[in-house]
């Protein structure tokens, strides 16, 4: 839920920043940026703690192979470190060029610096997520963006507090250009959840391959999938076009609103 609030607040901030940069609808721009930055900062912090922290712990308890893959931990380790960057090499079961902060993963997961965290190699090959690379990168993109959101909303809040934000054009540019990033973070979050639960449809009990229908042909499934994808593509494009159109047109002026009200309920009627 905080991901949705975060997305809404970044959208509002981005639009407000655009109005301020374009020197258009300045009153609305100031309100949008103020509200968006405050709510965005609160939602970004909640996304990390307690939301992200709780999600991580329940993954450790119920889906340990997902945790190992998303963290890029190949061997079981006591006092496991957290990977900041690195590229998983699944052919050789190792992480290339890693930058790791020692012991932090053990602490975040089990509140003990030397706790043992199971690595991917501890699971039989048919019980490991099939797309370890994509899962690892999705998770790191989500958390990386989450950290970036805290940094920019924190800095923007500081400037707002010092009454400098509306004149600081580079920060307004950053806020405007950041508008699409929460959409990417949400998508990366869902990638993490869904790729990580593979190859299970019921974790640890039933493989995804065993969950497929015996009465439905693959052609039927493909046809329905293409239909849904086409429908969502159309709706998505329509959404983008309408939002851009409305944003460029901007809010109605006072005269326009008064004129509209009078048209609906003429004075003296
Ligand atoms: C800041 C650090 C963050 C941490 C530590 C974190 C942690 C996690 C974890 C562990 C999962 C997997 C949950 C599961 O598989 O059951 C997850 C999923 C997800 N995350 Fe994040 N996340 C963070 C930031 C974000 C941000 C910034 C967004 C979006 C704006 C986001 C949106 C999502 C979504 C949509 C899911 C999938 C839905 C779900 O499983 O609840 N996350 N996150």
Is there an atom of ligand 1 within 6 Å of 64 CB?
Answer: no
- Residue 14 CA to ligand 1 center (angstroms) comes to 22
pTM: 0.92
Which residue CA neighbors atom 30 of ligand 1 most closely?
A: 3
Q: Choose which residue among 8, 142, 182, 191 to substitute to test ligand 1 binding: the one with the highest number of ligand atoms within 8 A of its C-beta.
A: 142
Which residue CA neighbors atom 27 of ligand 1 most closely?
A: 146
Cα 24 to Cα 10, 18, 29, 49: the distances in Å are 19, 8, 8, 37
Is there an atom of ligand 1 within 6 Å of 81 CB?
Answer: no
What's the pLDDT score for residue 259? Answer: 81
Is there an atom of ligand 1 within 6 Å of 186 CB?
Answer: yes
- Residue 143 CA to ligand 1 center (angstroms) comes to 8
Is there an atom of ligand 1 within 6 Å of 192 CB?
Answer: yes
- Residue 52 CA to ligand 1 center (angstroms) comes to 6
Atom index in ligand 1 nearest the CA of residue 147 equals: 1
Q: Choose which residue among 42, 44, 55, 68 to substitute to test ligand 1 binding: the one with the highest number of ligand atoms within 8 A of its C-beta.
A: 55
Atom index in ligand 1 nearest the CA of residue 58 equals: 16
What's the pLDDT score for residue 269? Answer: 56
What's the pLDDT score for residue 256? Answer: 78
Is there an atom of ligand 1 within 6 Å of 56 CB?
Answer: yes
Per-position DSSP letters for the chain, written without gaps between them = -HHHHHHHHHHHHHHHHHHHHTT-SHHHHHHHHHHHHHHHHHHHHHIIIIIIHHHHHHHHHH-HHHHHHHHT--S-EETPPEEEEEEEETTTTEEEEEEEETTHHHHHHHS-TT-EE--GGGS-GGGS-S-HHHHHHHHHHHHHHHHHHHHHHHHHHHHHHTT-GGG-HHHHHHHHHTTTHHHHHHHHHHHHHHHHTTTEEETTTEEGGGGS-SSS-HHHHHHHHHHHHHHHHHHHHHHHHHHHHHHHH-SPPHHHHHHHHHHHS-TT-
What's the pLDDT score for residue 205? Answer: 94
Q: At what angle do helices 64-71 and 53-62 cross, to 10 degrees?
A: 120
Which residue CA neighbors atom 7 of ligand 1 most closely?
A: 52
Mean pLDDT by groups of 10 residues along the chain of 269 residues = 95 97 94 98 97 95 96 96 95 94 95 96 94 97 98 98 98 97 97 96 93 91 97 97 91 79 71
Is there an atom of ligand 1 within 6 Å of 142 CB?
Answer: yes
Domain boundaries, the chain: 2-211, 212-253
């Amino acid at each position: 839920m905080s991901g949705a609030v975060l997305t809404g607040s970044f959208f509002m901030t981005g639009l407000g920043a655009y109005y301020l940069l374009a020197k258009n609808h300045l009153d609305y721009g100031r309100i949008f940026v103020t509200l968006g930055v405050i709510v965005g900062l609160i939602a970004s912090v909640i996304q990390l703690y307690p939301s992200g922290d709780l999600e991580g712990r329940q993954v450790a308890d119920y889906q340990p192979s997902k945790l190992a893959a998303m963290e890029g931990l190949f061997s079981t380790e006591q006092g496991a470190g957290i990977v900041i960057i690195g590229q998983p090499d699944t052919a050789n079961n190792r992480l290339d060029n890693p930058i790791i902060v020692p012991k932090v993963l053990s602490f975040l997961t089990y509140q003990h610096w030397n706790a043992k965290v199971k690595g991917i190699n501890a699971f039989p090959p048919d019980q490991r997520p099939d797309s370890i690379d994509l899962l690892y990168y999705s998770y790191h993109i989500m958390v990386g963006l989450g950290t970036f959101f805290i940094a920019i909303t924190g800095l923007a809040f500081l400037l707002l507090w010092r009454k400098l934000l509306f004149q600081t054009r580079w920060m307004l540019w950053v806020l405007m250009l950041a508008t699409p990033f929460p959409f990417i973070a949400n998508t990366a979050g869902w990638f993490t959840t869904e790729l990580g639960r593979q190859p299970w449809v019921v974790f640890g009990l039933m493989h995804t391959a065993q969950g497929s229908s015996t009465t439905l042909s693959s052609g039927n499934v493909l046809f329905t999938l293409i239909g849904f994808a086409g429908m969502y593509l159309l709706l998505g494009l329509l959404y983008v076009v309408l939002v851009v159109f409305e944003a460029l047109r901007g809010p109605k002026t006072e005269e326009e609103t008064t004129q509209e009200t009078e048209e609906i309920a003429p004075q003296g009627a």
